Structure 1
Amino acid sequence: MKKQLVVVTGGSGFIAVHIILQLLQQGYAVRTTVRDLAKTALIKEMLTNGGWTDFQDLSVVVADLIHAQNWDQVMVDADYAIHVASPTPTLNFKDESEMIQPAIHGVLYVLQAASKAHVKRVVLTSAYGAIFAGHRNRTTPFTEDVWSDLTAKGVHPYQKSKTLSEQAAWDFMDQDHSGMTLATVNPVAVMGPVLAADYSHSNIQIYDMLMGNTKVLPKVDSGYVDVRDVASLHLLAMTRPEAAGQRFLATTGETYSMLDVANILRTAYPDFAARLPTKTVPTTVLKAAAKANPMLRMVASVAGTYAETSAKKAKTVLGWQPRPAKDAILATAQSMLDLGIVTQ
């Protein structure tokens, strides 16, 4: 019997490779896209580190979010598509359109090609950034019903790119008559096992803390979720009928400050205690520094903001059960130690 084929975009990414791993483990064939075929070796290295060494049901093809070509061929014979690839935060950009336009264009190239190929469902990896940004006086947990307010002052272009690209996807679906359905997954900060030295921006804070690179911490609160649970939520969103037309926050519902994260690491890894930060920087000082240093603008834009989230929808609609946020944070640290990324 022919295996169902799932297209996963951006296969060398942190979330994408965990999705590919779970798809292969569950008996799907996977076709994944990269901008450069040289990434194939990295994808196989990460899957091997994740415990999977049989690549006969995996194919790697070239497609780029900033070019329309190849996407039609990518989707041929696909049953499902999971669109994970997106421009990662460029902290030092000249113009915000550098981040926003490729995200919107990429979503539309993927959806147009998927629609032509009669793909059953597309799952889009959106972000918590499409939900929380611009809401300054929030006092109740964020849910999937909320959209970022892009008219508010100080919304970072990364959050704009996530919001506008997800909105473009839903607008496309309003006009699409192919029978294809869409679901989105909106993760908070994604932690969990890194599978190679090439890992995502959300894990850099753990590396920097353990290596003693972070001397003071911004007053930033965040939800944290394990990448393995983010991957499993994508698979539920892909296969469950009730996920069609729905957004799902990938969160445990817990919120930690960055100092809380440092303290979790301090308790678990006492040998690293001397390197781990103990002090926070006042938000007013951080915002003033960000005016002169573009690299600080993204963190300054979220410092001091409310960050409580609800995990109710994914749990009740899809039966999703994420592990605790603390376990996700410690899994990141342990994997970095195991792979020799973090050293004593």
Structure 2
Amino acid sequence: MARVLVTGGAGFIAAHVMLALLREGHAVRATLRDLARESEVRAMLAAGGAPADAPLGFHRADLLEDAGWAAAVAGCDGVLHVASPLPAGLVAADEGALIRTAREGTLRVLKAARAAGVRRVVVTSSFSAVGYGHPPRAGRYDESDWTDPEGVGVDAYTRSKTLAERAAWDFVAGEGAGMELASINPVVVLGPALGPDLSASLDLIRALLDGTVPATPRVFFGLVDVRDVAELHVKAMTAPEAAGQRFLATSGDAVSLHQIARMLRDGLGPAGRRAPRFELPDLLVRLAALVSPTARLAVPRLGIRRSASSEKARALLGWSPRPPEEAILATAESLLRLGLVKG
């Protein structure tokens, strides 16, 4: 049994990562910016099947503060750095602060891990650090691709994820003192919600279910189930061959919002009846963007398919993700079960 630190323990991905670690017999320690959320996180883990006596502890630590990190990482065998700032609505009020938190926070975690003698750190990055800032292409992106943070159309969140991951690789190469690093780069992450605090991706499914979105813009997303992302984190932490590697996490080619809505209607029966049936012409979306911030976010993505390859994770680590439809329906079913879809 290893003791593993998971940063950002209140997050959607982090909670599922902790569940995966506990199922594999590891002891888990999680960081929280506010320890008042410990009971909330424990409730999420209980909802996911974690026993009440699971080997689980919590430490207060903030990505922008040195205090707390040495104690959090002390005695740990591995660190899974999942925490990362995500602006509301994916629009940053202060781009500099967002980038600083992501980059400096990653370096703070790595330095604490190095000081504690941790051998393996896994960083949760994103497809945002892979497939943007240059013209989209017909083929699939792989781990050799990097986003150009100064490229046209790169938003603050995408820039923050790219610069944070770059900083991690540069640190380990230059100052890591024998540390091993792996990164996980997921596309849009869906899957079972464990509580009412929803990620942006889960909130999108809720909006499709409750009729908030009357028609879909012509946008496409790669999808992956959070349970598979969690499993890949554990594999990247434990497999010797994962050292020094990036791993794209995707369950297949990009699908459109229109396809997602149809899967909800077909898979949920009456519960999916309000999922939109029509796809908007691009011109209408562009016109709506003049007054709607939501439509404005969609405009740069209209008609663009960015698909990624997960062949490396499959071949090197034996990873086998669920199909997109299963992730979509698991998300929807959990939102309905938790009463989070408006009647």
Which bracket does the TM-score occupy, shorter chain normalised? over 0.9
The residue aligned with 2:328 is 329
Cα distance in 2 between the residues matched to 1:67 and 1:288: 44
- TM-score w.r.t. length of structure 2: 0.95
Q: Is 1:188 matched up with 2:187? A: yes
Cα distance in 2 between the residues matched to 1:297 and 1:158: 16
Contact 1:118 1:178 in 2 (8 A): no
Runs (4 or more) in structure 1 with deviation over 6 Å come to none
Amino acid in structure 2 at the alignment position of 1:11: G
Contact 2:252 2:323 in 1 (8 A): no
Cα distance in 1 between the residues matched to 2:153 and 2:82: 26
The residue aligned with 1:209 is 208
Contact 1:5 1:80 in 2 (8 A): yes
Q: Which moved more, 1:210-219 or 1:161-170?
A: 210-219
Q: Is 1:17 matched up with 2:11? A: no
Deviation at 1:54, TM superposition (A): 2.7
Q: Deviations over 1:185-224 (max 9, x none)?
A: 0001111111111121111111111111111212111111
User: Among 30, 38, 44, which residue is 1:32 paired with?
Assistant: 30
Cα distance in 2 between the residues matched to 1:257 and 1:248: 23
Contact 2:220 2:255 in 1 (8 A): yes
SS of the residue corresponding to residue 229 of structure 2 reads helix
The residue aligned with 2:98 is 99
The residue aligned with 1:225 is 224
The residue aligned with 2:234 is 235
Cα distance in 2 between the residues matched to 1:285 and 1:155: 23
- TM-score w.r.t. length of structure 1: 0.95
RMSD: 1.7
The residue aligned with 1:76 is 74
Q: Deviations over 1:45-102 (max 9, x none)?
A: 1111111123451111111112122112211111000000000133443332132110
Q: Which moved more, 1:301-310 or 1:24-33?
A: 301-310
Tell me: CA distance 1:178–1:305, structure 2 relative to 1, closer, same or farther (3 Å). Answer: same
The residue aligned with 1:178 is 177
Deviation at 1:295, TM superposition (A): 4.7
SS of the residue corresponding to residue 123 of structure 2 reads strand
Cα distance in 1 between the residues matched to 2:83 and 2:29: 14
Cα distance in 2 between the residues matched to 1:40 and 1:223: 32
Amino acid in structure 1 at the alignment position of 2:5: V
Cα distance in 2 between the residues matched to 1:30 and 1:90: 28
SS of the residue corresponding to residue 88 of structure 2 reads coil
Q: Percent identity?
A: 44
Amino acid in structure 1 at the alignment position of 2:38: T
Contact 1:144 1:249 in 2 (8 A): yes
The residue aligned with 1:167 is 166
Aligned residue runs from structure 1 range 105-120, under 5 A: 105-120=104-119
Q: Is 1:253 matched up with 2:224? A: no
Amino acid in structure 2 at the alignment position of 1:161: S
Cα distance in 2 between the residues matched to 1:201 and 1:219: 19
